[in-house]
């Protein structure tokens, strides 16, 4: 009888220990969420330092640091048209300390492109929110003797092959070239580069005829008269370029193409951590000082919450699907 009671007591003791461990583990996880973040956060930018995404990320950086109370480090991971960095984000430890920017339509194009054989999908990310909505631009050199404005450029390109910059198959810049050829009968030929800094250098060096970029990337050079932005691929003029017409205003059909950049984390990050990141991003993007800083670089801040941002990328992916015949896919 004593042995039986002993076994029962021992079993109860063991159960109590296991229950205590489970309770401790659960409370530790809760503690990790409640005191998050407690160390620096890394933000992966999938393009070169000095490019549009990098510049806007570093503009946002101090505001996120103020909201989160920890250092925020920008990590450049260029390569593969953005996929080196995007894969790194998706495969990072889901502890809330590695997040990063997605660029669309570039990532949407890669997910649709049958030759890419990508290993991730949008479901491999947790969406924090959008930061930037940046219309495309068509820019020419200030000393180009063949054309001095958008109309002259288009008429010239209808008769002659004109090279344009691009930073990825079916990326935002490449899509502008394809749409111009499709809609206006031009003979633009995209030349692919690994990152904005390389495409910009090739253009400024006279190795490529036309720079296809975004307002944010081209605006500083336009202001310094290193180039001339001839047209904007948007429904309305950019508030930063009041004298530059849209393609439609220049007398041609409406051609709209923009680049969006938003923050994501790997899938399965604790929802409480995502909630804190989303709140910090919203406050940072909408901070009047941040908006003023973005104006200085000619880039429009456009906050969207995580759910809305995910829906935007899903729509981009659907739109790229419809362009498969144009892309030869």
CATH code (residue 140): 3.40.190.10
297/285 same-domain check: yes
What is the residue-level pLDDT of the chain in tens, covering all 329 positions?
444 444 444 444 444 444 444 444 433 445 567 899 999 999 999 999 988 899 999 999 999 999 999 999 999 999 888 999 999 999 999 999 999 999 999 999 999 999 888 889 999 999 999 999 999 999 999 999 999 999 999 999 999 999 999 988 888 999 999 999 999 999 999 999 988 889 999 999 999 999 999 998 899 999 999 999 999 999 999 999 999 999 999 999 999 999 999 999 999 999 999 999 999 999 999 999 999 999 998 899 999 999 999 999 999 999 899 888 888 89
91/154 same-domain check: no
140/228 same-domain check: yes
13: in domain: no
CATH classification of the domain holding 128 = 3.40.190.150
Prediction pTM value: 0.78
278/201 same-domain check: no
State pLDDT tens for residues 129-147: 999 999 999 999 999 999 9
75/159 same-domain check: no
State pLDDT tens for residues 233-252: 999 999 999 999 999 999 99
246: in domain: no
State pLDDT tens for residues 59-83: 999 999 999 999 999 999 998 889 9
Number of independent structural domains in the chain? 2
Written in H, E and C, the secondary structure of the chain is CHHHHHHHHHHHHHHHHHHHHHHHHHHHHHHHHHCCCCCCEEEEECCCCCCHHHHHHHHHHHHHHHHHCCCEEEEECCCHHHHHHHHHHHCCCCCCCEEEEEEECHHHHHHHCCCCCCCCCHHHEEEEEEEEEEEEEEEECCCCCCCCCHHHHHHHHHHCCEEEEECCCCCHHHHHHHHHHHHHCCCEEEEECCCHHHHHHHHHCCCCCEEEEEHHHHHHHHHCCCCEEEEEECCCCCCCCCCCCECCCCCCCCCCCEEEEEEEEECCCCHHHHHHHHHHHHHHHCCHHHHHHHHHCCCCEEEEEHHHHHHHHHHHHHHHHHCHHHHCC
95: in domain: yes
129/142 same-domain check: no
């Amino acid at each position: 009888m004593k042995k039986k009671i002993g076994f029962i007591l021992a079993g109860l003791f063991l159960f109590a220990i296991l229950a205590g461990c489970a309770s401790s583990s659960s409370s530790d996880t809760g503690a990790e969420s409640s005191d998050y973040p407690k160390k620096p956060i890394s933000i992966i930018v999938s393009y070169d330092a000095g490019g549009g995404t990098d510049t806007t990320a570093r503009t946002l950086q101090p505001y996120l640091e103020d909201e989160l109370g920890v250092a925020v480090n920008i990590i450049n991971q260029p390569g593969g048209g953005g996929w080196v960095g995007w894969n790194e984000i998706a495969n990072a430890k889901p502890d809330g300390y590695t997040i990063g920017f997605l660029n669309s339509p570039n990532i949407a194009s890669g997910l649709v492109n049958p030759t890419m054989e990508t290993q991730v999908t949008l479901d491999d990310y947790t969406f924090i929110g959008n930061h930037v909505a940046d219309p495309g631009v068509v820019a020419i050199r200030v000393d180009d003797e063949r054309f001095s404005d958008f109309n002259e450029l288009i008429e010239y390109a209808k008769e002659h092959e004109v090279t344009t910059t691009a930073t990825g198959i079916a990326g935002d810049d490449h899509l502008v070239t394809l749409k111009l050829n499709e809609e206006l009968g031009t003979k633009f030929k995209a030349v692919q580069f690994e990152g904005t800094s390389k495409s910009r250098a090739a253009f400024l060096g006279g190795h490529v005829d036309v720079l296809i970029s975004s307002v944010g990337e081209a605006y500083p050079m336009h202001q310094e008269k290193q180039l001339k932005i001839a047209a904007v691929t948007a429904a309305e003029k950019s508030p930063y370029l009041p004298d530059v017409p849209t393609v439609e205003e220049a007398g041609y059909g409406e051609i709209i193409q923009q680049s969006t950049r938003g923050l994501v984390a790997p899938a399965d990050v604790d929802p409480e951590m995502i909630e804190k990141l989303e709140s910090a991003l919203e406050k940072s993007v909408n901070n009047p000082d941040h908006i003023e800083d973005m104006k200085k670089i000619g880039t429009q801040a456009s906050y969207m919450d995580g759910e809305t941002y995910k829906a935007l990328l899903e729509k981009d992916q659907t739109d790229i699907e419809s362009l498969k015949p144009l892309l030869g896919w």
